[in-house]
Every structure is written in structure tokens, then in C-alpha cells.
Amino acid sequence: MSDNQKPRGTDSGKAEAPLAQLKDLWRRSPETVRDYWREQLSSSRKLSEIRAEILTKLKIKLSSDGKLSTFRDWMIEQDLRDAETERQLEDHQQLEKQNPNWTLDQVREEVLTRSYMRSLAQGDFKLGLATSREHTRKQIVALEREKFEFDASKAALKIWPSIRQISSDKAMSESDKVLAVRQKLFGVIPK
């Protein structure tokens, strides 16, 4: 990523956001330059220091460490995609060697199938993570409910005489009784 890049714009005429500028620059940069920034982003340097260096060398001002962190995640995903492309090329060469009578279409079909299976496995992993997160969230909700029910039972025991009194009040309707007990247990009920 060299420092003599002209500011870029979008079709709408607006200037590109700094993060988009950085991604664009990354796509157009040679591997040696990318390696330098990969090294910086995986080092123990503070993100704020790296941001300052990006501003000085690339004239791109990232407003927060979070933006640089987002860029780092994006960069890792892009590197994984590049690795997948290299894997496809390897598969291609290997399949051509192993099957000299195959047409190019047959080779490509097999490369694609292998890539698809890898994507599927990765997709399943991501899906598994999402499912696991959802499971954890449901467990937390269930625990909170249990805790609430336990607290409510304890509170009910404390005010048991009042509850019995409300319950036996013949002048009150059933819904008034429920409201009165709720008010005793939880205080003022929000409307």
C-alpha cells in the first residue's frame, strides 16, 4: 500500500469511507506490502499506534481502534479466501495429472465439488457456532426464569398473611385480587 494514492469516490459522488478506502488499497497492493501490514496487525503494537502509522503512510484516517479491528477481521477472511483459491489451483493441477483423459470442464467440476464441500464444512461450523450461541442464550433465559420464580416464591412466603387476607376478601373480584397480590409482591406495576 503506497502513500501516493488519489482519493477515491463512489458512483454517488460521495467520498469513500476510510475503511472502504483501506480495503480498496489492500486489494490493489502487492503481497510484500500486505505482508508488512499483516505483521503489524498481528504484533503486540497498540492499535492506536498502527492507526497513526496508517494515517502517516497511507493518508487514511480510521476514527477508532474498532475500525482497525474490523479491518483486521476482514483481512483474515480475505486471506482465507486467497488460501482457498490456491487450494483450488493445487486441486486443478493434481486432477489434471491424475486424470489426463479428463476434459477441462470435468476437472473444473471436480475442483468445484471439493471447494463446495469445504465451504459446506465451514458453513456447518459457522452454523454450529450460531446454534451453540442460541443454546447458551436459551439456557441463560431459563436460568433467569428459574431465579425469578424462586425469588417470587420467597417473596410470596414473606407476605403470605397478606395474600391470605386478599384471597378471602369477598368484596374483591378475582382480577382485583390478582392485581393486589402482584402489587404486594412486585410493588407498583408499570402500565
Partner 1 sequence: MTNRQIGIAKAILDVLHDWDGGQGHEITIHADASLKFRVMIPKNEFDEIFRELNSRGCFIGVPTEFKGTLWSLSDTGKKVRQEMA
Task: Supply the angle between the helices 18-28 and 47-58 in degrees, to the nearest 10.
Answer: 70
69 near partner 1 (CB under 8 A): no
One of 48, 90, 116, 178 touching partner 1 (CB under 8 A): 116
Amino acid letter for position 49: E
CB-nearer residue toward partner 1: 85 or 183? 85
Compute the least distance from the CB of residue 8 to partner 1, in Å.
11
CB-nearer residue toward partner 1: 16 or 163? 16
One of 15, 52, 55, 112 touching partner 1 (CB under 8 A): 112
Decide: helix, strand or coil at residue 117.
helix
Considering only residues 34-63, where is the footprint of partner 1 by CB under 8 A? none
One of 82, 134, 144, 176 touching partner 1 (CB under 8 A): 82
One of 48, 93, 98, 119 touching partner 1 (CB under 8 A): 119
One of 115, 163, 172, 181 touching partner 1 (CB under 8 A): 115
- Pair 77, 23: CB distance under 8 Å: no
The span from the CA of 61 to the CA of 55, in Å, is 5
Decide: helix, strand or coil at residue 172.
coil
Decide: helix, strand or coil at residue 48.
helix
Burial of 51 (0-12, 13-18, 19+ CB in 10 A): buried
**161-182 b/e (C-beta count within 10 Å ≥ 16 → b):** eebeebeeeeeeeeeeeeebbe
The span from the CA of 51 to the CA of 63, in Å, is 9
The one-character DSSP state at 171 is T
One of 35, 49, 109, 144 touching partner 1 (CB under 8 A): 109
One of 23, 38, 67, 177 touching partner 1 (CB under 8 A): 23
113 near partner 1 (CB under 8 A): yes
Q: What residue ranges bind partner 1 (CB under 8 A)?
A: 10-12, 20, 23-24, 27-28, 74, 77-78, 81-82, 84-86, 88-89, 105, 108-109, 111-113, 115-116, 118-120, 123
